[in-house]
Amino acid sequence: MLNQEMPLVTIAIPTFNRAGTYLKHTLQSAIGQTYKKIEVIVSDNCSTDHTERVVKEFNDPRIQYVKHSQNIGHFRNFKFCIEQARGDYFLLLQDDDLIDEDFVDACLKTVNYSIMEIGVIRTGTRYIDPDGHCLGEWPNEVGGLSTEEFFLAYLSFKTGIYLCSTLWNTKRLREAGGMSSKHNLFLDVMAVARLSSQFGRNDIQESKASNRKHPNELSSSVKTKEWCEESFLLVDVMCNLASEKRMALSLKRAGRNFIFKHNYNLAKKEKVVSNRLKGFLLISRKCGHLFFISRFLKYVVLDGWKAVKRKIKQLIVPVGYAT
């Protein structure tokens, strides 16, 4: 196939004040792709650090640097990236995440390096700490499953959806209204649900991208109430996209457990006790009081047992012989 017939892939990096931490590594992972027909858009959300200098040091003609005159917010910056993309396929790579050098190659291989109607192409995802050390990974093991089975796998915590490991069909993403939701928390998951339902998806089992976990990541400051509201909306979207009433009921049942577990784990992390209790009360009202009580007791027991095991491990100290 001639080079000019190969699809163009846009890798967009929305960024704000990450010049001294992760941006350089993220940008290097983008331009270091084995697939060369890419454009990289760095959308600087009015950073006050030396972001521009970091970007220009790469001296790569495929990089387009745009600096906004004022901070337009995280999600308007996401929207800007989608609007600016010229590629047939699009990756929104946050400025603290990474992609493997063969990420684009592996994704395009599933469509024979051509422009197809497929809505999304997904890979597995690694978790890394602030220093880039691997904390674990989540292989993408939903290949061959129907759309509804894919939704069930997500709601059952058997697969994850992350921006860094999702390649979008740019045209179809725009037609679907881009990425948006009430609180912009599950915006990527909702967009994946809609596009995979209408246009299908391709799945790659291996992990080809890394999601960085650190205290300043985007979702770390969001209130439990907003997550709770958004998770109910997500389940509704998936149920409405189901092709059969039977599958919609299965998704609704799985969704209630997803809503409880996801938001229970968030509420536990609330440092202010009153906020934690408000979170539990909200989940109880939405899920049903009896359901909440049964699940709450189950997880309290599990959490208690885990704490006991950690304490036992701390107390068991190897005894050495005096010399």
CA dist., res. 110 & res. 124, Å (int) = 14
Beta bridge partners of 247: none
Q: Are 30 and 1 in contact (CB under 8 A)?
A: no
pLDDT, tens only, 143-177: 999 999 999 999 999 999 999 999 999 999 999 99
Range with lowest mean pLDDT among 228-237, 266-275, 305-314 = 305-314
Q: What is the mean pLDDT of residues 30-38?
A: 98
Beta bridge partners of 14: 43
Residues 6+ apart with CB under 8 A from 220: none
DSSP-derived secondary structure letter, 112: T
Is the full-model pTM beyond 0.85? yes
Whether the pLDDT of residue 100 is over 90: the answer is: yes
The CATH architecture that domain 3-215 belongs to is Alpha-Beta Complex (3.90)
Domain-wise residue ranges, the chain: 3-215, 222-313
Please report, as a single letter, which amino acid is at residue 203.
Answer: D
Q: Which helix (H) or strand (E) holds 268?
A: helix 245-268
More reliable by pLDDT, 149 or 305: 149
